[in-house]
Structure 1
């Protein structure tokens, strides 16, 4: 059977850390406007691509910054050991799932987010498209899964 994976690649700001995704299509992306994501990104929101953790092949110096979340999960942030760009995170409440920082994708200019969450915290100057689902806080899990994985 032929290999149906695409050459989807990305990396950190300085180029020391690179990755390739073993996936059949560009992963689904959503935007989070919560205050934590605003602080982590230093911007108005974060763009996150949902991928299987085992689909990410990393090269370069990686640091695992881990901490306990308010919900009781252990969060693992994978960052470049040189420039400290966040590449992806995972946590113990979602085993095997990674949230890749979509802005680190080489083709980040082709991303079209499928949903926006925590819009009650969005910056007032951010205008969301009417056709994209948005949620005041977290989306209901079943609905979010249906949106991200149609």
Structure 2
């Protein structure tokens, strides 16, 4: 399976060197709600070397409480493509909605649910945390996820 995606205007394209769609989680924090103009952000955590980008990117840095994120977006239409964070060295957080096959993604975990929209109902058996889980708890939950039915292929730290 060839995993590809890109920005809204088509100036940035990417390919993910993985055999399957990456594990995806939903973040309900206020930053993700604002940045996505939606109820949550969909993110796929993967090793940095698996993502190959073509096209011109611009970036901005955002951080709080000692955790800094560097966001990469299309230089033309400003669609956010991915970010890196010092909380997960060597990993990228891909904006899963930019995948060409985004309709095939189903989140396997939810974080920052204390900020989720009150009208949104989450599956009861889905791993979820009020805020951000520890990397160890997140990796364990992904390995047991009812959505994936498979072991997590990547570390979360």
- Same fold per superposition (TM over 0.5): yes
Unmatched 5+ residue regions in structure 2? 144-150, 152-157
* 1:148 matched residue in structure 2: 142
Report matched runs for 1:1-150 at 5 Å. 6-67=1-62, 69-149=63-143, 150=151
- Relative to the length of structure 1, the TM-score reads 0.90
DSSP-derived class of the 2:64 partner: coil
Deviations along 1:68-88, one digit per CA (max 9) or x if unpaired, are x11223321010000000000
1:3 corresponding residue in structure 2: none
**CA RMSD, aligned part only?**
1.3
Q: How many residues align structurally?
A: 144
Which aligned runs of 4 or more in structure 1 are off by greater than 4 angstroms? none
Deviation at 1:127, TM superposition (A): 1.1
Tell me the TM-score normalised to structure 2 length: 0.86
| Cα distance in 2 between the residues matched to 1:13 and 1:48 | 17
